[in-house]
Amino acid sequence: MNIKDSRTTQSSDDYHSLLLLDEISRNNEITQRDLSKRLGIALGLINSYIKNLASKGYITVAAIPKKRYKYYLTPQGFIEKTRMTYHHLQNFTSLYRVAGHDFQKLFYNLRKDNIKRVVFCGSDEVAEIAYITLQEFEIELIAVVDTENESKSFLGQSIRPIEDLNIIDYDRVIITSFSKEEELYIKLVEAGVLFEKILSRGKV
């Protein structure tokens, strides 16, 4: 793993930890299975995150009848949640500025090439930035695909499995995730998408 991969993984772990702390702060009777469904994180990873947060003293776990558990944020956990929220907002502002510029350049070039119909592959914050930027151009977003969360929606569109690209009429697929960019590229190629039809921010 190179330095960039390490930083990306750490950033993703911090963000998932923040989401968990936030969910637990609002509902201490939520189950790990519920957390997995809500956050789109594998159940095994949820368990790992919970153990990690507990080991750091950010949450306490109390057993209740019927083999269930309650999760409570400790005072230290509330402080950490506030710190992580502030840090995430700072990162998001920087990400928005850089990604917005990259997508603007990408969509400008697509419009010059008379590209009209695109698919987003990925549904995290980067996809939101891409969607906002896309509104400046006469290009239609016809679908959003991802490797998970097919049952959820993105800005009114159902998130569909990547395999659905075989039945979707599109001009280009744009990878709209920073943390999963390499994974999504591989999945798109495996699904039979032509190399020349796969784009990522800033690359045409």
Task: Enumerate the domain spans of the chain.
Answer: 3-73, 99-200
Output the six-digit token pair for 100.
Answer: 């917005």
Q: Is the pLDDT of residue 75 over 70?
A: yes
Superfamily for 99-200? NAD(P)-binding Rossmann-like Domain (3.40.50.720)
Same fold, 3-73 and 99-200: no
Give the whole-angstrom CA distance, residue 204 versus residue 199. 6
pLDDT in tens, 76-90: 999 998 888 877 777
Output the six-digit token pair for 133.
Answer: 């930027």
pTM higher than the cut 0.85: no
Predicted local confidence at residue 124, as pLDDT: 80
Give the whole-angstrom CA distance, residue 99 versus residue 130. 8
Give, in degrees to the nearest 5, the angle at Cα 177 between 23 and 153. 55
User: Which residues partner with 64 through β-bridges?
Assistant: 68
Q: How many CB atoms lie within 10 A of CB 156?
A: 6
Give, in degrees to the nearest 5, the angle at Cα 200 between 8 and 128. 75
Q: Specify whether the CB–CB gap between 137 and 165 falls below 8 A.
A: no
Give, in degrees to the nearest 5, the angle at Cα 33 between 32 and 38. 95
Compute the average pLDDT of residues 139-150.
Answer: 84
pLDDT interval class at 9 (50, 70, 90): very low
Alpha helices in 27-170 (DSSP H): 32-39, 43-55, 75-112, 125-134
User: Which residues partner with 157 through β-bridges?
Assistant: 154
Q: Is the pLDDT of residue 37 over 70?
A: yes
Give the whole-angstrom CA distance, residue 111 versus residue 167. 24
Fold of the 3-73 domain: Arc Repressor Mutant, subunit A (1.10.10)
